[in-house]
Amino acid sequence: MSLPPPRGVLRPQIPEAQFQHQRHAPCAELNNWIEHFWFVAWDVQDAEATEQTTLPHPNVHLVIEQGEARIWGVQTDRFTRRLHGKQSVFGIKFRAGGFYHWLGQPVASIHNQQCAVPANIASAAEKLTAAVSDKQPFSALCLLAEQMFLSLLPQIPNADPALPLLQQIMQDIVAQPELNSVEDLQKRYGIHKRQLQRLFQQYVGVSPKWVIQRYRLHEAIARIQSGDSKDWAALALELGYFDQAHFVRAFRVLTGMTPVAYQQTLLQK
């Protein structure tokens, strides 16, 4: 299954010789729990290191780096990594809501945290970590990860009506830009605001408002990267902001710069 282009990477123009990013979708049986496997590698030997900044998504990751596996809860701030030397990282991006049953507690409990791998998937993580340390190719790592998690699926309850509902809401937030507020979700699904908040705190780890705002800013960044962003006021209204000033403020808080300043950085070599 093909994956859409990655979103939230502020510097997509880093030369391929210095930075590689691969992704692979899981098999259909894991689709409700895993969004994709990923691998990044860099070889930056210049006098000055290169920085890569990514913006947060409402997903939990299992990250294997330098011989250690860790769980990353949803991070609410942008993540900047100084790329220097030669290194690689393998990860599993769980679908929003898809890590709840592995974690065994509300996903909000690991919000903005890195933590140890839960005991119920520790054995799989150890085998994956050994394979990463052995520098096995990305395709082999994906196949091993699939086999590991397929063997763990019996741990997950067969019937959980809340998870399909949550994932349908998440899909609609991404696909339907007109869903700009929690109130819009309430009307669409007939769910009380507090129920929505509890659902998201338990399964996703952040509020529905946060999810909506982040995806709208991801859309704004994609528009700027494609060159389709000349009318800032119109874009702000389309994305559900009260006015251009509110949009610019939210954009600056997340990226550290205004939309115009970010647009200018894309023109620099």
Tokens encoding 124: 């799989």
pLDDT at residue 13 in the model: 62
Query: CB–CB of 186/196 below 8 Å?
Result: yes
What pLDDT is attached to residue 63? 97
132 with 104, same domain: the answer is yes
pTM (two decimals): 0.92
- From residue 241, alpha-carbon distances to 1, 64, 153, 217, 227 in Å are 34, 38, 41, 10, 20
Residues 194 and 130 in one domain: no
- Which amino acid does the sequence have at 42? W
In a domain, 181, yes or no: yes
15 pLDDT exceeds 70?
Answer: no
- Per-residue pLDDT, averaged over 56-85, amounts to 91
> Span 97-112, mean pLDDT?
94
List the CATH number of the domain containing 166: 1.10.10.60
| Total domains in the fold of the chain | 2
Could you tell me the residue range of the domain that residue 174 belongs to? 162-267
Please report the pLDDT score of residue 144 as a whole number: 97
State the chain's mean pLDDT as an integer.
89
Given a cut of 80, whether residue 105 has pLDDT beyond it is: yes
End-to-end CA distance of the chain: 34
Q: Is the pLDDT of residue 83 over 90?
A: no
Average pLDDT over residues 130-145: 96
Regarding whether 121 and 93 lie in a shared domain, the answer is yes
- With vertex at residue 64, the alpha carbon angle to CA 38 and CA 222, rounded to the nearest 5 degrees, is 35
Structure tokens at 225: 């990267």
Mean pLDDT calculated for residue range 167-187: 91
